[in-house]
């Protein structure tokens, strides 16, 4: 029947369970809530898009191991700067956009999903008890498990601030300098950020291959530009050397590490930060049929599961956890969140009205990257090739490593209209 604004309401309601309340998960939850309330969704880029004709009663439950949204892109800075750390973790209950009866939060870890009965098993952090959540649609957006110092290991904001404080102390107390091991995107950003925050500190980046970013599908000139900028910013870079031994040396007043490189060269340092561990998919809650050989969720271009699991059409995967082309990026995760929301909305409408769903299909993602390298940003895209400048830093990351850009794009600061 029509509501005050003339929008029709469907007769049934739906439960949507979103695993992971980060870029992908929040983008999906918020865009879906917009559509269900009869509005054009917040990420819609078509200015002529029409709002949906129907309202759909929804309950969206977001489950996350963390108690809030953490701006992961800023991790190299937030772990090394307490003031910034505080700005990059917002508890879900403090996010204005989520203050709506549509949303419900559980802090906990999903341990198993039964796609056949559409039930998720969750270890609730607060009660330390197992609970189950029934759903009509599931969105898996729980990303990759990353070790410290690539990502913080805390699950509560208060603990995260302590974790950052401890790391800052270690960085400050490293009188013999800091070595970052691993010249992938994270190691490079970590080294550059430490040099900007602590210009007096000697920062060395060691990479086992002769080229930075050796495991990324990126052209040589981009890797060379990144190397040039690091050196301009006085980060020492050692290429083509594997660290074969790390030994603690007792210097009397502080702990020092002696590193031995493959060619026998030795160096001492006050702190070793490893950026080489492979991040592992968090998909262990799903049956192997849903996953590819890397543990990523197999999807169709509609983002629905494509593996041989029951009710695949009611299960969606987004963000880093989805097996899709391109370098894993937060922009990609948010885009996938939008499409998952639009496709779930179409699927719900089809169930209620019998209309044929019109799905958004994801295109292949090209290899693209933006690296924050202290004052400058280096960007690669197939259309424009390699570019790097201070202006680009402003465009790509703003003044806060992209935190405001992501926050504003998701409109997290806007309470939902009544
Ligand atoms: C240091 C660093 C710098 C980066 N820089 C950039 C950059 O400059 N630009 C860019 O585009 N991308 C960057 N990335 C990549 C980007 O951060 C990821 O692509 C993005 O975070 C993916 O978002 P997501 O929503 O898929 O997953 P994630 O952001 O990984 O979030 C997953 C969420 O799921 C939760 N979770 C995990 N397991 C469970 C479970 N079992 N139950 C419940 N909850 C669970 C986690 O707590 C987390 O909140 C960077 C990544 C890192 C680590």
Q: Does 137 map to a domain?
A: yes
Strands 271-274 and 178-181 come out as: parallel
Question: Rounded to the nearest whole angstrom, what is the distance from the C-alpha of residue 388 to the centroid of ligand 1?
Answer: 25
Q: Is 301 left (phi over 0), alpha (psi -120 to 50) or beta?
A: alpha
Residue 1 pLDDT: 47
| Contacts with 255 (C-beta within 8 Å, 6 or more apart), sequence order | 248, 249, 270
Q: Do 298 and 373 fall into the same domain?
A: no
Rounded to an integer, what distance in angstroms lies between the CA atom of residue 108 and that of residue 409?
26
Q: Do 17 and 101 fall into the same domain?
A: yes
Question: Rounded to the nearest whole angstrom, what is the distance from the C-alpha of residue 121 to the centroid of ligand 1?
Answer: 22
- CB atoms under 10 Å from CB of 376, counted, come to 21
Q: Do 72 and 201 fall into the same domain?
A: no
Q: Do 381 and 241 fall into the same domain?
A: yes
Cis peptide leading into 149, omega within 30 of 0? yes
Q: Does 161 map to a domain?
A: no
Q: Do 338 and 383 fall into the same domain?
A: no
Residue 6 pLDDT: 63
For residue 67, what is the domain's CATH number?
Answer: 3.50.50.60
Q: In what order do the strands lie in the sheet with 266-269?
A: 243-250, 255-261, 266-269
The token pair at 247 is 């030994």
Rounded to an integer, what distance in angstroms lies between the CA atom of residue 241 and that of residue 223?
17
Atom of ligand 1 nearest to the CA of 371: 8
Q: Do 335 and 382 fall into the same domain?
A: no
> Which protein residue's CA is at the shortest distance from atom 48 of ligand 1?
20
Q: Do 232 and 266 fall into the same domain?
A: yes
Rounded to an integer, what distance in angstroms lies between the CA atom of residue 230 and that of residue 125?
41
Q: Which parts of the chain have pLDDT scores under 70?
A: 1-6, 252
Q: Do 356 and 377 fall into the same domain?
A: no
Q: Do 329 and 237 fall into the same domain?
A: no
Q: Is 295 left (phi over 0), alpha (psi -120 to 50) or beta?
A: left
- CB atoms under 10 Å from CB of 37, counted, come to 20
The token pair at 317 is 């995967």
Residue 62 is given by DSSP the state E
Question: Rounded to the nearest whole angstrom, what is the distance from the C-alpha of residue 143 to the centroid of ligand 1?
Answer: 5
Rounded to an integer, what distance in angstroms lies between the CA atom of residue 26 and that of residue 220?
35
Q: Do 245 and 376 fall into the same domain?
A: yes
Residue 254 pLDDT: 74
> Which protein residue's CA is at the shortest distance from atom 6 of ligand 1?
73
| Number of domains comprising the chain | 2
Does residue 149 have its Cβ closer than 6 Å to ligand 1?
no
Q: Do 105 and 47 fall into the same domain?
A: yes
Rounded to an integer, what distance in angstroms lies between the CA atom of residue 210 and that of residue 322?
31
Residue 277 pLDDT: 80
Structural domain boundaries enclosing 65: 8-149+279-365
Strands 255-261 and 119-124 come out as: unpaired
């Amino acid at each position: 029947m029509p509501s005050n604004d003339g929008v029709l309401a469907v007769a049934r309601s739906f439960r949507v369970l979103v695993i992971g309340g980060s870029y992908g998960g929040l983008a999906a939850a918020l865009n879906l809530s917009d559509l269900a309330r009869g509005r054009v969704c917040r990420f819609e880029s078509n200015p002529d898009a029409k709002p949906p004709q129907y309202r759909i009663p929804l309950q969206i439950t977001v489950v996350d191991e963390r108690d809030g949204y953490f701006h992961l892109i800023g991790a190299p800075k937030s772990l090394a700067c307490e003031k910034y750390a505080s700005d990059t973790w917002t508890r879900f209950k403090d996010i204005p956009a989520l203050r709506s009866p549509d949303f419900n939060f559980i802090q906990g870890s999903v341990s198993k999903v039964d796609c056949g009965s559409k039930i998720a098993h969750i270890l609730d952090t607060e009660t330390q008890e197992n609970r189950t959540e029934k759903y009509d649609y599931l969105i898996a957006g729980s990303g990759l498990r990353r070790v410290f110092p690539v990502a913080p290991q805390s699950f509560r904001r208060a603990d995260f601030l302590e974790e950052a404080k401890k790391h800052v102390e270690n960085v400050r107390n490293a009188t013999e300098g800091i070595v970052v091991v691993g010249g992938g995107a994270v190691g490079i950003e970590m080294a550059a950020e430490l040099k900007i925050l602590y210009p007096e500190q000697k920062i060395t980046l060691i990479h086992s291959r002769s080229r930075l970013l050796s495991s990324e599908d990126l052209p040589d000139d981009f890797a060379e530009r990144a190397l040039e900028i690091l050196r301009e910013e006085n980060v020492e870079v050692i290429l083509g050397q594997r660290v074969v031994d790390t030994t603690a040396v007792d210097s009397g007043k502080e702990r020092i590490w002696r590193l031995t490189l493959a060619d026998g060269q030795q160096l001492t340092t006050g702190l070793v930060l490893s950026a080489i561990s492979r991040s592992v998919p968090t998909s262990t809650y799903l049956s192997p049929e849903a996953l590819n050989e890397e543990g990523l969720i197999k999807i169709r271009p509609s983002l629905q599961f494509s593996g041989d699991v029951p009710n695949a059409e009611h299960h969606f995967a987004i963000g880093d956890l989805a097996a899709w082309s391109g370098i894993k990026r937060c922009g990609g995760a948010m885009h996938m969140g939008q499409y998952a929301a639009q496709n779930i909305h179409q699927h719900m409408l089809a169930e209620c009205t019998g209309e044929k769903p019109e799905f958004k299909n994801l295109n292949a993602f090209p290899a693209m990257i933006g690296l924050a390298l202290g004052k400058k940003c280096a960007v690669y895209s197939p259309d424009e090739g390699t570019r790097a400048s201070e202006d680009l830093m402003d465009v790509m990351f703003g003044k806060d490593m992209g935190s405001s850009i992501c926050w504003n794009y998701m409109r997290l600061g806007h309470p939902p209209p009544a």
